[in-house]
Structure 1
Amino acid sequence: MRLIAVPLARSRPGINPISTFVAQRAANAVHRATTTATGTTTTTTTTTTDGSDPQRKAPLSKRLLQRASAFWIDLGRTDQKSTLDWKRRTYVTGERLMDRIEYQEWALKGIDPAMDPKLIAAQAAVDGGQGSEKSAVDAGASPQIPLLYPPSLLKPEPLIASLKNLTDQRTPHHYKRFWVCVVGMPFTIPFALIPVVPNLPFFYLVYRAWSHWQAYKSSAFLSGLIAQNRLVAQQSPELDSIYAEAAPPPAEPAASSREEGKKASESRPSDDDERMLLKRHHIELLMGRLELPESCKADLRRARLQVERSMLDGKLEELESNSAGLK
């Protein structure tokens, strides 16, 4: 596995920008390294869309998550009817709630040590009492994790410091929120008496509890990597080239959509705003060139929209201070 720092915005040139992070599966990282070095690849192993081996049965937790995702997508279908249209209304409201979840939480949930089997073995060697941490490292049980960043926008020391500050803030935050959701679940029992519609508040709290727990585990995992000096910042000229690439010329909009586009542009910063570093077309370039998991596209979109909202509210500098640990 390797991590990729994605700069989002900055209030003025010359300061360390606000960044989010995405994780790349070990198999994809090796594939990218091979392609970069040779210009070709000879990998023939069949993988699924998320990079896993199709011959290996997914764990129960992942299968349950896939079922829940399929059920959620089914709610948003427009070709089905339900009493009071509760399915579509639930889906639309739920998507809005998802977009309100902080992008830092989405980023943490996307970082899973299971993406690299070596990390699981390394943690077992360190935590399982099989000698000291030093002996585990000497034996090669604790691999280093590269953290790629665009050198024209980020510097390694502030980048690692901001990631450490993120884990210091988020580890206790998500642990506390997890228990708040668990404690709140019994109070949703009266909603089960409503006919036809399922107990939506209960299922929402279940989802939020799971989400906070995943973010808590990932944050604690990253904190351990930083404490053990196993996270190594590496310059990525490819990221620099992506951020330097200009947006393609926009297609001529239809007359009916021109007015809608004008109203939308008035409610958010322009792509010409120099404070916003991650442009809309950058997300597509990152997805294609780095072969990121499909879930990263939604995570990056949410991060960009939330930072845009902070810019409109005049809170960009406050967001920078929190990211740098100055408050």
Structure 2
Amino acid sequence: MRLFLLPISTRRSLIYCEKLHEKVSTEHTYLDKLTNKASETWAAWEKDSAAIGNWKKKVTIYGNLALKRIPYEEWGLKSMPALTAKRRKSIEEGNEKVQVLFPGLYMKEGRVPVILKELAMQRQALHKKNLVWSVVAMPFTVPFMLIPVIPNLPFFYLVYRAYSHWRALNGSKFLAFLLQHKLPTPAPSAELDEVYAAGLMYATRAESRAAPIPTREQAEEISRVVDRQTNNETEDVMMLQRWNGKLIAERFKLPEMEVEIERAVEQVEKAIKGKEELMEEKMELEQATKTSGQPLRDLHDEVPSRKADEAIHEKAEDVAHHKDKK
């Protein structure tokens, strides 16, 4: 089994699980059949323009927007397998091996177990609470059953959220169990270093594809730039761009990982931008009122620096251009 620990920004990371050497089961559980049926129905609704008022297609449009708002950490934990009795026994007997791939130049190896522990433990209580609330709220959707033609959408949404929280909760428990038995083995990946360097060196996926693969020296130089510009990772700036998701997925032949990375990048970008705007508003208010005792310089230090982000990309582009001239 391989786990991917991908820094989206200097402070936030995505975990993704690739399961290796699992036999394809010919038998499907009732839950598997129900999940597959729901996926098929949703796909059919996305293409259905014949419904009255085009309601099926509209439901999928708003539904997909709602799905994009589900935290990327939850999606990452859902990629973990369930901690079944058989898998638990295999882990306890030492028959499982777990590699944790990460870009060694852009994430210190000592941080890997710390981040894994945070991902495993910090969200368990949240998923447990939201699972309970989703189930508790289901009976209150009964009146929606009286609406003709359209199914009870609030009920099905709560069912999906309950299922999603249950999956994420199981994933966090599985990860915690692996850590308890000290199974995750950090494995710095030179391939990930190359992809991360390319994402910082080039502005678009097409430009990255057309350019030579970054050399080890270039990747190391860009890594040093990131450390300098982010004050040894104390400022939260982006490490990945959305188009990097496809490159990583292609490099490791995991097409389903692309959407996970793109979703995580979009959410982290919004979070950083929102924090920047909030702190800038505070600085403007401070300048206008001059009532706070906190120096403006300190407030500025709290803002995730957009200048640092731009400086990283500018320096990375310089590294690429310097290589081209040679």
The normalised TM-score by structure 1 is: 0.70
Q: Give runs of aligned pairs for residues 215-294 of structure 1, distance below 5 A.
A: 215-245=168-198, 246=202, 247-249=204-206, 275-292=237-254, 294=255
Q: Counterpart of 1:286 in structure 2: which amino acid?
A: I
Q: Which whole-Å CA distance do the structure 2 matches of 1:228 and 1:318 have between them?
A: 39
Query: Larger radius of gyration, structure 1 or 2?
Result: 2
Q: Which whole-Å CA distance do the structure 2 matches of 1:57 and 1:200 have between them?
A: 30
Q: Deviation at 1:206? A: 0.3
Q: Which whole-Å CA distance do the structure 2 matches of 1:315 and 1:204 have between them?
A: 33
Determine if the alignment matches structure 1 residue 86 to structure 2 residue 48: no
Residue 146 of structure 1 contacts residue 233 of structure 1 at CA under 8 Å; is this kept in 2?
yes
Select the residue among 77, 88, 99 that pairs with 1:123: 88
Give the 3-state SS of the residue equivalent to 2:123 in structure 1.
helix
Equivalence for 1:295: 256
Give the 3-state SS of the residue equivalent to 2:100 in structure 1.
strand
Q: Which whole-Å CA distance do the structure 2 matches of 1:109 and 1:182 have between them?
A: 19
Q: Deviation at 1:88? A: 1.1
Identity within the alignment, %: 32
Give the 3-state SS of the residue equivalent to 2:88 in structure 1.
helix
The superposition leaves residues 291-317 of structure 1 with CA deviations (integer Å, 9 ceiling, x where unpaired) of 11x432222111111011012112697
Q: Which whole-Å CA distance do the structure 2 matches of 1:307 and 1:197 have between them?
A: 35
Q: Which whole-Å CA distance do the structure 2 matches of 1:71 and 1:102 have between them?
A: 24
Higher relative helix content: 2
Q: Counterpart of 1:18 in structure 2: which amino acid?
A: R
Q: Which whole-Å CA distance do the structure 2 matches of 1:9 and 1:227 have between them?
A: 27
Residue 242 of structure 2 contacts residue 266 of structure 2 at CA under 8 Å; is this kept in 1?
no
Equivalence for 2:12: 18
Residue 245 of structure 2 contacts residue 259 of structure 2 at CA under 8 Å; is this kept in 1?
no
Q: 1:278 to 1:244 in 2, by over 3 A?
A: same
Q: Which ranges of structure 1 fall in alignment gaps of 5 or more residues? A: 11-16, 28-50, 127-135, 251-272, 320-327
Equivalence for 1:40: none
Determine if the alignment matches structure 1 residue 206 to structure 2 residue 156: no
Q: 1:22 to 1:125 in 2, by over 3 A?
A: closer
Q: 1:300 to 1:318 in 2, by over 3 A?
A: farther
Aligned-CA RMSD value: 2.7
Q: Deviation at 1:97? A: 0.3
Give the 3-state SS of the residue equivalent to 2:6 in structure 1.
strand
Q: 1:185 to 1:165 in 2, by over 3 A?
A: same
User: How many aligned positions are there?
Assistant: 250
Q: Counterpart of 1:241 in structure 2: which amino acid?
A: E
Q: Deviation at 1:249? A: 4.4
Q: Deviation at 1:164? A: 0.8
Q: Which whole-Å CA distance do the structure 1 matches of 2:34 and 2:23 have between them?
A: 16
Residue 109 of structure 2 contacts residue 186 of structure 2 at CA under 8 Å; is this kept in 1?
yes
Q: 1:287 to 1:249 in 2, by over 3 A?
A: closer
Give the 3-state SS of the residue equivalent to 2:5 in structure 1.
strand
Q: Deviation at 1:185? A: 0.4
Q: Counterpart of 2:9 in structure 1: which amino acid?
A: A
Q: Deviation at 1:9? A: 1.2
Q: Which has the higher contact order (CA 8 A, sep 6+)?
A: 1
Select the residue among 69, 78, 98 that pairs with 2:39: 69
Q: Deviation at 1:226? A: 1.0
The normalised TM-score by structure 2 is: 0.70
Give the 3-state SS of the residue equivalent to 1:26 in structure 2.
coil
Give the 3-state SS of the residue equivalent to 1:9 in structure 2.
coil
Residue 175 of structure 1 contacts residue 216 of structure 1 at CA under 8 Å; is this kept in 2?
yes
Equivalence for 2:270: 309
Equivalence for 1:153: 106
Q: Deviation at 1:60? A: 2.8
Q: Which whole-Å CA distance do the structure 1 matches of 2:117 and 2:110 have between them?
A: 11
The superposition leaves residues 221-249 of structure 1 with CA deviations (integer Å, 9 ceiling, x where unpaired) of 10111122111111111111111224444
Q: 1:309 to 1:212 in 2, by over 3 A?
A: same
Residue 8 of structure 1 contacts residue 307 of structure 1 at CA under 8 Å; is this kept in 2?
yes
